[in-house]
Structure 1
Amino acid sequence: MKFTEGMWRLREGIKIDWMGNVDKITEKESDLKLLLTKPLRHRGDTLNSATLSTTITSPFPDIIGVKYVHWTGEEDKGPHFELNASQEHSSVRVSKTAEQVTYQSGNLTLNINTTKNNFNGTFAGPTGKKLTGHSFRSVGYVADETASPYSDGLYRVREGHTFAALDLGVKETLYGLGERFGPFVKNGQTVDMSNEDGGTSSEMAYKNIPFYLSSAGYGVFVNHPGRVSFEAQSERTTRVNMSVPGEFIEYFVVYGPGPKEIIEKYTALTGRPPVVPAWSYGLWLTTSFTTNYDEKTVTGFLDGFKKRNIPLGTFHFDCFWMRGFEWCNFEFDKEMFPDPEGYLSRLKAQGQKICVWINPYIGQESALFDEGKKNGYFVKKLDGGVWQWDNWQAGMALVDFTNPAACTWYASYLSKLAAMGVDAFKTDFGERVPVQGVKYHDGADPARMHNYYTHLYNKVVHEVLQNDLGDAKGCLFARSATAGGQMFPVHWGGDCESTFEAMAETLRGGLSLGLCGFGFWAHDIGGFEGTPSPTLYKRWCQFGLLSSHSRLHGSGSYRVPWLFDEECSEVLREAVNRKLEMMPYLLSVALEAHEKGTPMMRPTFMEYPEDLNTWSIDTQFFLGPNLLVAPVFTDSGDVSFYVPADSEDEGEWVSWFDHSKRYKGGNWYSEKHDIKTLPLLLRPGTYTAVRPGATSPEQGGVEGIEVLTVGTVGGEGVQQTIRLIDPAQPDRVEMDLRVESMPNGGVEVSGGKIGVRVL
Structure 2
Amino acid sequence: MVSTMGRTISLAVALATAVASCLGLAPVAAASGLSVDRSGYRLDIDRAPFRLTVRHGGQVVLRTASPAIDFDGGTVTNVRSSHYSAGNLVLSLGTTDPARTVQLTIGPGEHRLSLAAQVRPPSAGRLGVHYDLASGGHWYGQGETTRGAQDPIAFQPWPLETGQPLDPAFGPAEYYMTEPFWFTSRGSGLYLLGNGVKDVSLGNRHPGVFDLTELAGGELSATILVRDTAREVFQDYVGIAGKPEKSDAPDYQYREPVWNSWAQFYTAVTQQGFLDWARGIHDAGIPAHTFSLDDGWSAHYGDFTFNAKFPDPHGMVDQVHRLGARFGLWVSLWANPDSANYALAASRGWLLKSKADPAKPCTVQWWNGAAGIVDLANPEANAWYQGQLHQLMTDYGVDGFKFDTRFFDESCAPYRPDLSMADYQRLGAQMADGYDLQGVGIRSHWTGAQRNGFVVREIDKEANFAALGVAVRQLLALSTVGYPFVTSDMIGGSDGQHPDRQVLIRWAQAAAATPLMYASTSPVGFDAQTVQYYRDAVRLHERLTPYILRQRDRALATGEPIMKPLFFEDPQDQAAYTITDEWLLGDGLLVAPVLTEGTSRDVHLGHGAWFDVANHRVVRGDLHDYHAGPGTLPLFVRMGTGDTDSLLAALL
Using the size of structure 2 for normalisation, the TM-score is 0.78
Displacement after TM superposition at 1:364 (Å): 2.2
- Provide Cα deviations, 1:355-412, integer angstroms capped at 9, x if missing partner: 2212220122333223311221111122211123565445521122333433333233
Q: Using the alignment, how far apart are the partners of 1:56 and 1:675 within structure 2?
A: 56
Q: Using the alignment, how far apart are the partners of 1:338 and 1:621 within structure 2?
A: 46
Contact 2:165 2:202 in 1 (8 A): yes
**Partner residue in 2 for 1:16:** 75
Query: What is the 5 A alignment of 1:523-672?
Result: 523-529=489-495, 530-553=497-520, 559-645=521-607, 650=608, 652-659=609-616, 661-665=617-621, 667-672=622-627
- Provide Cα deviations, 1:195-243, integer angstroms capped at 9, x if missing partner: 69xxxxxxx9822222111111232111133333344356777763422
Letter of the 2:610 partner, please give it. Answer: W
RMSD over aligned Cα, in angstroms?
A: 3.4
Letter of the 1:575 partner, please give it. Answer: A
1:312 partnered with 2:288: yes
169 and 10 in structure 1: CA distance in 2 versus 1, 3 angstrom threshold: closer
Q: Using the alignment, how far apart are the partners of 1:338 and 1:361 within structure 2?
A: 24
Unpaired segments ≥5 residues, structure 2: 1-64, 146-154
Q: Using the alignment, how far apart are the partners of 2:80 and 2:232 within structure 1?
A: 34
Contact 1:301 1:560 in 2 (8 A): yes
Which one of the candidate residues 406, 411, 420 is aligned to 1:430? 406
SS in 1 for 2:329: strand
Contact 2:505 2:534 in 1 (8 A): yes
**Partner residue in 2 for 1:441:** 415
Q: Using the alignment, how far apart are the partners of 1:302 and 1:422 within structure 2?
A: 16
Displacement after TM superposition at 1:46 (Å): 12
SS in 2 for 1:605: helix
**Partner residue in 2 for 1:38:** 93
Letter of the 1:671 partner, please give it. Answer: Y
Letter of the 1:626 partner, please give it. Answer: G
Letter of the 1:441 partner, please give it. Answer: Y
190 and 347 in structure 1: CA distance in 2 versus 1, 3 angstrom threshold: closer
Which one of the candidate residues 386, 389, 411 is aligned to 1:411? 386
Which one of the candidate residues 362, 373, 376 is aligned to 1:401? 376
Contact 2:170 2:178 in 1 (8 A): yes
**Partner residue in 2 for 1:65:** 114
Q: Using the alignment, how far apart are the partners of 2:461 and 2:509 within structure 1?
A: 17
Which one of the candidate residues 354, 361, 372 is aligned to 2:345? 372
Contact 1:640 1:669 in 2 (8 A): yes
Q: Using the alignment, how far apart are the partners of 1:416 and 1:272 within structure 2?
A: 34
SS in 2 for 1:678: coil
Contact 2:350 2:381 in 1 (8 A): yes
Q: Using the alignment, how far apart are the partners of 1:653 and 1:608 within structure 2?
A: 14
- Provide Cα deviations, 1:624-681, integer angstroms capped at 9, x if missing partner: 1111111212222222221111xxxx3x21122331x33203x243223211102111
Letter of the 1:683 partner, please give it. Answer: R
Query: What is the 5 A alignment of 1:436-515?
Result: 436=411, 438-443=412-417, 449=421, 452=422, 455-456=425-426, 458-465=428-435, 476-479=440-443, 481-486=445-450, 487=452, 489-515=454-480
Q: Using the alignment, how far apart are the partners of 1:426 and 1:633 within structure 2?
A: 28
Which one of the candidate residues 614, 622, 630 is aligned to 1:675? 630
Q: Which has the higher helix share?
A: 2
Contact 2:190 2:225 in 1 (8 A): yes
Contact 1:526 1:532 in 2 (8 A): yes
Contact 2:512 2:538 in 1 (8 A): yes
Displacement after TM superposition at 1:162 (Å): 2.1
Contact 1:389 1:395 in 2 (8 A): yes
SS in 1 for 2:239: helix
Contact 1:18 1:38 in 2 (8 A): yes
Quick check: 166-175 or 291-300, which moved more?
Answer: 166-175
Displacement after TM superposition at 1:594 (Å): 2.2
376 and 257 in structure 1: CA distance in 2 versus 1, 3 angstrom threshold: farther
Letter of the 2:449 partner, please give it. Answer: G
Displacement after TM superposition at 1:571 (Å): 0.8
Aligned length: 564
Q: Using the alignment, how far apart are the partners of 1:623 and 1:22 within structure 2?
A: 51
Contact 2:187 2:232 in 1 (8 A): no
1:268 partnered with 2:239: yes
Q: Using the alignment, how far apart are the partners of 1:688 and 1:485 within structure 2?
A: 30
62 and 178 in structure 1: CA distance in 2 versus 1, 3 angstrom threshold: same
Contact 2:258 2:291 in 1 (8 A): yes
Q: Using the alignment, how far apart are the partners of 2:530 and 2:280 within structure 1?
A: 13
Q: Using the alignment, how far apart are the partners of 2:70 and 2:193 within structure 1?
A: 27
Which one of the candidate residues 209, 226, 232 is aligned to 2:179? 209
Contact 2:100 2:120 in 1 (8 A): no
Q: Using the alignment, how far apart are the partners of 1:356 and 1:508 within structure 2?
A: 28
Q: Using the alignment, how far apart are the partners of 1:9 and 1:272 within structure 2?
A: 33
592 and 62 in structure 1: CA distance in 2 versus 1, 3 angstrom threshold: farther
**Partner residue in 1 for 2:324:** 351
Contact 2:328 2:438 in 1 (8 A): no
Q: Using the alignment, how far apart are the partners of 1:18 and 1:616 within structure 2?
A: 36
Contact 2:192 2:221 in 1 (8 A): yes
SS in 2 for 1:524: coil
Displacement after TM superposition at 1:615 (Å): 0.5
Q: Using the alignment, how far apart are the partners of 1:53 and 1:404 within structure 2?
A: 41
Q: Using the alignment, how far apart are the partners of 2:210 and 2:473 within structure 1?
A: 21
Contact 2:302 2:342 in 1 (8 A): no
498 and 685 in structure 1: CA distance in 2 versus 1, 3 angstrom threshold: same
Using the size of structure 1 for normalisation, the TM-score is 0.67
Letter of the 2:339 partner, please give it. Answer: S
Displacement after TM superposition at 1:308 (Å): 1.6
Unpaired segments ≥5 residues, structure 1: 1-5, 75-158, 197-203, 554-558, 690-705, 710-755
Displacement after TM superposition at 1:22 (Å): 4.4
Which one of the candidate residues 130, 133, 157 is aligned to 1:165? 130
476 and 499 in structure 1: CA distance in 2 versus 1, 3 angstrom threshold: closer
301 and 211 in structure 1: CA distance in 2 versus 1, 3 angstrom threshold: same
1:194 partnered with 2:245: no
Q: Using the alignment, how far apart are the partners of 1:346 and 1:178 within structure 2?
A: 39
Contact 1:192 1:227 in 2 (8 A): no
13 and 521 in structure 1: CA distance in 2 versus 1, 3 angstrom threshold: closer
Query: What is the 5 A alignment of 1:143-158?
Result: none
**Partner residue in 2 for 1:724:** none
Displacement after TM superposition at 1:317 (Å): 0.7
SS in 2 for 1:582: helix
1:48 partnered with 2:125: no
Quick check: 611-620 or 250-259, which moved more?
Answer: 250-259
**Partner residue in 2 for 1:286:** 260
Percentage identity across paired residues of the two chains = 23
Letter of the 1:498 partner, please give it. Answer: A
569 and 417 in structure 1: CA distance in 2 versus 1, 3 angstrom threshold: same
SS in 2 for 1:414: helix
588 and 63 in structure 1: CA distance in 2 versus 1, 3 angstrom threshold: farther
- Provide Cα deviations, 1:223-280, integer angstroms capped at 9, x if missing partner: 1333333443567777634221222111122344333332232122113233121122
757 and 540 in structure 1: CA distance in 2 versus 1, 3 angstrom threshold: closer
Letter of the 2:476 partner, please give it. Answer: L
Q: Using the alignment, how far apart are the partners of 1:474 and 1:524 within structure 2?
A: 14
